[in-house]
A and B are shown apart, each in its own frame.
Chain A
């Protein structure tokens, strides 16, 4: 539904992304991985309509994004940025409600509050609604912003045939292990509901465990894409990240990527069994 066709973004003399084509499709979770500076976040911002491509174009159901009014776009996709800072103290509920108060949505405060509560419940923060956002931990804040993105899609007016997308830039970066898994399960459930989900993520193992498709970026280009099982091979990853990586296969056939520095005997032994 959201598709980048030969998109390049040029900043000064540097090509942040260079001739990238990528479609994110409903019902699938696409994980974008790659080293720092590979252009992952730039690609996400282009797909979100926030950055205008220097070359090529992004299409929403075959309509050039430049021709889609910003309010219509907000009804079709929501975005969780890498870090969002608030300039004034808001309560958790108020932040999530901002997702529903898009000018064109025509949502009343009480309906917005209800949708916001549902979204907070989904991210496990139902008890936090009257807390001030700046008093929460980094991980809790991240989940509040995910709830805001969910609330936006839940309240947006859409035709039956119109699917929605959710784009997340490193949503698990500041989360502990439990919440990394919880958030990814939640995001995965969004994909299973029929939404197109794209996330930028550094943890290759989480990407392998949850993604339907992995896109590997390097130096502004797509270096490979495919199912986790096919894409995650030692040579490609080691070459792209510029360090020696081992890929081991777990008992259930999943892939586990480990830097060679920590592949001690125990792990290698487990893989050999």
Chain B
């Protein structure tokens, strides 16, 4: 470490904690929550059964107890934990990106209608999937839902930007109000589709109203993998651009940032992340609002820390919320959206009152 490095670390450390420490702590929390999520469940199968379950997976142990352990640990809890992590990471990263782009701490995909748009597309895919749209949807297989939700989210976001953009500047007030209106519109259309659907579809559809991970399967894990990969590829290209946007769009351009490209990639990435998350878990609010806020309070608004940090924190949040969702009233399950709002809203209020949000203006 050179003298300059040391001096920077010292002064930066006076205000912000070292990045390595932050990431180490966050990753530790994520691993801990993932292990808990594997170990805890209403069936009472514990982690001690893991070797037996693995043996059963490999085909060595064939007795019924081992088969049951394999089913619970490998086929139920593991994909559920992985999906919870993906959903949390995707929603939190989307929230952080939208807040950076729209320059407003309230831009949460659930709040501004992007999730509702994605959910409407997913609902339409289910209801119309064995009706008029079958020839279109059937060939897509397991990817039909995430792809539909992606386009639903994308169309909602583009509509939002078109409504809120005035003379090249996004009006944040218009954005939020238009988002609420679009969310309500998507919700009512979704309600109409649900009303028009049959009983079997209706069970699937309840998932989208409050969010749930109860339908987790390896198939769904594979369905979101390409989306997860796309987000991981896009984020490193966005961090500096979004940092420039923190000063304003004109200022970002002055700083040498291709603002149009940044906007396009951010909107597409957000739609992909929200679409895939909604497709597997329904509308889950709050994660995209709180995880980025907590990250900014910990280490400042630099997106190089906020984006990956929010992903890890969001994954942890949803995993923990899902553990509570399946244990609180077992053998029944709470919708995860309720758990997150119940646990998260007070925390969020506390943060707002203690430190203030936004603060720049």
Task: Select the stretch in A19-27, A106-114, A241-249 that faces chain B.
Answer: A106-114
Given A90-B246, A113-B8, A130-B11, the answer on whether A70 and B253 have CB atoms closer than 8 Å is yes
Is A163 in contact with chain B by the CB < 8 A criterion?
no
A88 near B301: Cβ-Cβ < 8 Å: yes
C-alpha gap A132/B257 in the complex (Å): 24
C-alpha gap A114/B240 in the complex (Å): 19
Tell me which residues from 216 to 243 in chain B have a Cβ below 8 Å from any Cβ of chain A. Answer: 240-241, 243
Is B14 in contact with chain A by the CB < 8 A criterion?
yes
- A110 CB → nearest B CB, Å: 5
B103 near A104: Cβ-Cβ < 8 Å: no
- B265 CB → nearest A CB, Å: 13
B258 near A70: Cβ-Cβ < 8 Å: yes
- A109 CB → nearest B CB, Å: 7
Selected from B8, B15, B248, B257, the residue in CB contact (under 8 A) with A70 is B257
C-alpha gap A48/B254 in the complex (Å): 7
Is B361 in contact with chain A by the CB < 8 A criterion?
yes
B257 near A102: Cβ-Cβ < 8 Å: yes
- Would you mind naming 6 contact pairs between A and B with Cβ atoms under 8 Å apart? A49-B253, A79-B251, A81-B254, A86-B247, A87-B99, A113-B11
Is B49 in contact with chain A by the CB < 8 A criterion?
no
B251 near A134: Cβ-Cβ < 8 Å: no
Selected from B5, B250, B301, the residue in CB contact (under 8 A) with A89 is B301
A91 near B15: Cβ-Cβ < 8 Å: yes
Selected from B7, B15, B103, the residue in CB contact (under 8 A) with A87 is B103
- A3 CB → nearest B CB, Å: 19
C-alpha gap A81/B296 in the complex (Å): 26
Given A89-B296, A90-B300, 4 more A-B residue pairs with CB atoms under 8 Å apart are: A71-B258, A74-B256, A81-B251, A109-B8
Residue from A45, A71, A91, A104 with most neighbouring chain B CB atoms (10 Å) = A91
Report A-chain residues with C-beta under 8 Å of the C-beta of B5.
Answer: 110
Closest to B355 in A: A89
Closest to A109 in B: B8
Is B57 in contact with chain A by the CB < 8 A criterion?
no
- The 10 tightest CB contacts between A and B, nearest first, are A74-B256, A86-B360, A88-B301, A87-B103, A102-B256, A79-B254, A89-B359, A113-B8, A71-B256, A110-B5
Chain A binding surface SS class: mixed
Selected from A101, A105, A113, the residue in CB contact (under 8 A) with B243 is A101
Report B-chain residues with C-beta under 8 Å of the C-beta of A104.
Answer: 256
Task: Count residues of chain A with CB under 8 A from any CB of chain B.
Answer: 42
Is A99 in contact with chain B by the CB < 8 A criterion?
yes
Report A-chain residues with C-beta under 8 Å of the C-beta of B300.
Answer: 89-91, 94
Given A93-B11, A109-B8, the answer on whether A152 and B255 have CB atoms closer than 8 Å is yes
Binding site for A on B (CB under 8 A): 2, 4-5, 7-8, 11-12, 14-16, 99-100, 103-105, 240-241, 243-248, 250-251, 253-258, 296, 300-302, 358-361
C-alpha gap A215/B99 in the complex (Å): 41
Tell me which residues from 34 to 83 in chain A have a Cβ below 8 Å from any Cβ of chain B. Answer: 45, 48-50, 70-75, 78-79, 81
A89 near B360: Cβ-Cβ < 8 Å: yes
- B92 CB → nearest A CB, Å: 16
Tell me which residues from 121 to 179 in chain A have a Cβ below 8 Å from any Cβ of chain B. Answer: 129-130, 132-134, 152
Report B-chain residues with C-beta under 8 Å of the C-beta of A102.
Answer: 240, 255-257
Is A84 in contact with chain B by the CB < 8 A criterion?
yes
B255 near A98: Cβ-Cβ < 8 Å: yes
Closest to B8 in A: A113
A98 near B244: Cβ-Cβ < 8 Å: yes
Is A85 in contact with chain B by the CB < 8 A criterion?
yes
B8 near A75: Cβ-Cβ < 8 Å: no
C-alpha gap A109/B1 in the complex (Å): 13
C-alpha gap A101/B304 in the complex (Å): 12
Closest to A133 in B: B360
Given A85-B361, A88-B296, A103-B257, the answer on whether A50 and B11 have CB atoms closer than 8 Å is no
Selected from B4, B241, B253, B296, the residue in CB contact (under 8 A) with A110 is B4
B248 near A85: Cβ-Cβ < 8 Å: yes
B301 near A99: Cβ-Cβ < 8 Å: no
- A53 CB → nearest B CB, Å: 15
B15 near A111: Cβ-Cβ < 8 Å: no
A75 near B256: Cβ-Cβ < 8 Å: yes
A130 near B14: Cβ-Cβ < 8 Å: yes
B250 near A81: Cβ-Cβ < 8 Å: yes
Closest to B1 in A: A110
Selected from B11, B103, B240, B359, the residue in CB contact (under 8 A) with A132 is B359
C-alpha gap A79/B257 in the complex (Å): 13
Report B-chain residues with C-beta under 8 Å of the C-beta of A73.
Answer: 256
Closest to B103 in A: A87
C-alpha gap A216/B7 in the complex (Å): 47
A88 near B8: Cβ-Cβ < 8 Å: no
- B175 CB → nearest A CB, Å: 13
C-alpha gap A104/B247 in the complex (Å): 18
Given A85-B360, A90-B300, A94-B302, the answer on whether A78 and B254 have CB atoms closer than 8 Å is yes
C-alpha gap A50/B251 in the complex (Å): 9
Closest to B13 in A: A130
- B250 CB → nearest A CB, Å: 5
Report B-chain residues with C-beta under 8 Å of the C-beta of A88.
Answer: 105, 246, 296, 301, 358-360
C-alpha gap A104/B360 in the complex (Å): 27
Residue from B4, B104, B360 with most neighbouring chain A CB atoms (10 Å) = B360
Closest to A49 in B: B253
C-alpha gap A181/B12 in the complex (Å): 32
Report A-chain residues with C-beta under 8 Å of the C-beta of B246.
Answer: 86-88, 90, 98
Closest to A135 in B: B359
Report B-chain residues with C-beta under 8 Å of the C-beta of A94.
Answer: 300-302
Report B-chain residues with C-beta under 8 Å of the C-beta of A48.
Answer: 254
B2 near A110: Cβ-Cβ < 8 Å: yes
